[in-house]
Amino acid sequence: MSTAIQLERISSRNETGAHVMAAALARHGVTEIFGQSLPSALILAAPHHGIRQIGYRTENGGAAMADAYARVSGRVPVVTAQNGPAATLLVPGLAEAFKASIPVVAIVQDVHRRHTDRNAFQELDHFALFSGVSKWIRRVSDVDRIDDYVDMAFTRAASGRAGPAVLMVPPDVLDERPELSPDASRRQISLGRYPLDRTVADPARIAEAAALIAGAKSPIVIAGGGVHSSGAVCELARLQDMGIPVATTVMGKGAVAETHPLSVGVVGYFMGRGGRAAHQRDLVTGADVVLLVGNRTNQNGTDSWQLYPRDARYIHIDIDGAEIGRNYEALRLKGDARLTLAALAEALEARDISALTGRRAVLEARLAEGRAKHEAELEGLIDWDATPCRPERLMRDLDAVLPDHAITVADASYSSIWIANFLTARQPGQRFITPRGLAGLGWGLPFALGAKAARPEAPVICVTGDGGFGHVWGELETARRMKLPVVLIVLNNQILGYQKHAELSIFGDHTDVVHFEAVDHAAIARATGCAGVRVESPAGFLPALKDALVSTETTVIDVLTDERAHPPITSFEGKAALDY
């Protein structure tokens, strides 16, 4: 018997379920686990397989970190938690990933198998808990089935419409030694990237779609987050270069360069006065053929289903057939966005598209005119030197120095709109990460940390309000401890802005808890060992931002902003109660 075989048998006899699971995760390309030391046996085994733990402070923050990690890296992340209350805190993060179609594998420690249904410590019906926020949930009850269940979890998370998969693991399963045959071949397959399986739409329908577009008088593409998930930015740019204007949703921002002469910008519910795409609205409403790509046609993206034209013909590319035709009857192109867009481009190139190319110059001039009107309109709306600062001024300064390879993330509410409306995607594939699945507050900082873990060489800038930042102050210590330096811009207006302004808009009055006491977020940052800068006038912001961008430590720039400032939300138009 060779020495190698002897060593393999000795290793097999000493290997526990925790090592089997860690090896399976490593096989799928996992190099980080977002966790808080549980399941302990797995976390202790992980470094032996090249996996480090990124230790979050709260489980909801850890789930958000995993989500952003997936969006930026194209890899399936792993987040872990204890059963019971810790598991319940995973739910909001998994819900965001579920609605946004982002793959996450959650490994949750369950109670000991012998203690099931005996009211063990923190025992809970986790199947019921996760049923509404995951694609798949199973419990591993046999140490010899660990590889099977890990493979199933990654397969379900990354295939079809991506989303969370949850694996419940009793601690005694991780402590057991499997009855492995020392001569059995180890699995080699890696399932840790998404999309796992790419399919292309029916060629006959692709040909029909090409005919519709070639014969259209005013076609438009509205691209959603599915373009980023599929990695389809080059294929989309190919269509744009044929003469088709492209708009995006908030999640789709960056799918095309917004400096391209045929880029419309982000369209949806913030196309009111001062909206970047406000003067391009008729390119959407007047379209006769609308190509939707990875677009959920949700309420915000369609301005409550009032923006998209009623009489247009729709073509819808989506990996999930249930989304096609959900709100707009469409020619169904069910398939991966990258492959299907490539096939559609080829079908178009085989046709006479002289009508598209012939209209291009006029269309480019029309879009340029809309951009110029937007710039002129802003000059009449915004006092750029006002104190407290206007968020529009801060975004203008950020846009002026934002590197093309930077990743910009935002919290929910106004923060997502400020970056979507006022920052510029200067190259296809530039990433702007926003929580638009369920749009819960508190996602900004953990999103930034997950993005930085995925792409450590890229600058990561987070825009958040003081309301959202208040949810996750503790993760500043995570940023310092895990050496994940990011830049946080806190728009500190001392109110829950969207809440107050929406209430004023609808009721003419507001509830009594929309106001906060004054908080010095820069001091909080310094107390955690991070850098903190307080900015009270617009002239102080850009120097602080430039310093933060070259710093090697996490920096919080706490900017006092005008509480009356709100994005150009269409439902706020003409509401006198907002002029207070």
Banded pLDDT at 181 (limits 50, 70, 90) = low
DSSP output for 345-387: HHHHHTS--HHHHHHHHHHHHHHHHHHHHHHHHHHHH--TT-S
Phi, psi of 448 (to 5 degrees): -60, -40
pLDDT of 3 above 60: no
345: nearest Cα among 230, 207, 526, 460: 207
Structure tokens at 496: 């829950």
Domains of the chain listed by start with CATH number: 17-175 (3.40.50.970), 203-372 (3.40.50.1220), 382-578 (3.40.50.970)
Starting at the edge strand that comes first in sequence, how are the strands of the sheet with 555-560 ordered?
432-433, 407-410, 460-465, 487-492, 555-560, 531-535
- Residue 155 is which amino acid? T
pLDDT digits (tens, 9 = 90+) for 507-561: 999 999 999 999 999 999 999 999 999 999 999 999 999 999 999 999 999 999 9
Of all residues in the chain, what percent carry a pLDDT higher than 90?
Answer: 96
Residue 95 in this model has a pLDDT that exceeds 90: yes
Closest CA to 535 of 485, 476, 487, 470: 487
| pLDDT per residue as tens digits for the range 492-516 | 999 999 999 999 999 999 999 999 9
Cα(351)–Cα(321) distance, rounded to whole angstroms? 27
Reduce the DSSP state of residue 144 to 3 states and report it: helix
Residue 283 DSSP class: H
Cα separation values, 372 from 184, 279, 368, 427, Å: 68, 9, 6, 21
**Count of Cβ atoms closer than 10 Å to residue 293 Cβ:** 30
Q: Is this structure's pTM higher than 0.85?
A: yes
Distance, CA of 14 to CA of 229 (rounded, Å)? 40
Residues 6+ apart with CB under 8 A from 19: 45, 48, 49
Structure tokens at 398: 């950020």
pLDDT at 12 over 60: no
Phi-psi map region of 164: left, alpha, beta (phi>0 left; psi -120 to 50 alpha): beta
The pLDDT value recorded for residue 179 is 86
Taking the C-alpha atoms of residue 52 and residue 30, their distance in angstroms, rounded to an integer, is 9
Q: Give the lowest-confidence range in 2-6, 170-174, 303-307.
A: 2-6
| pLDDT at residue 180, rounded to an integer | 67
Q: What is the pLDDT of residue 10?
A: 35
* pLDDT for 63 beyond 90: yes
- Flag whether pLDDT at 94 surpasses 90: yes
* Closest-CA residue to 516 (of 488, 492, 537, 490): 492
Q: Give me the phi and psi of 291, to 5 degrees please.
A: -100, 115
pLDDT category, 7, cuts 50, 70, 90? very low
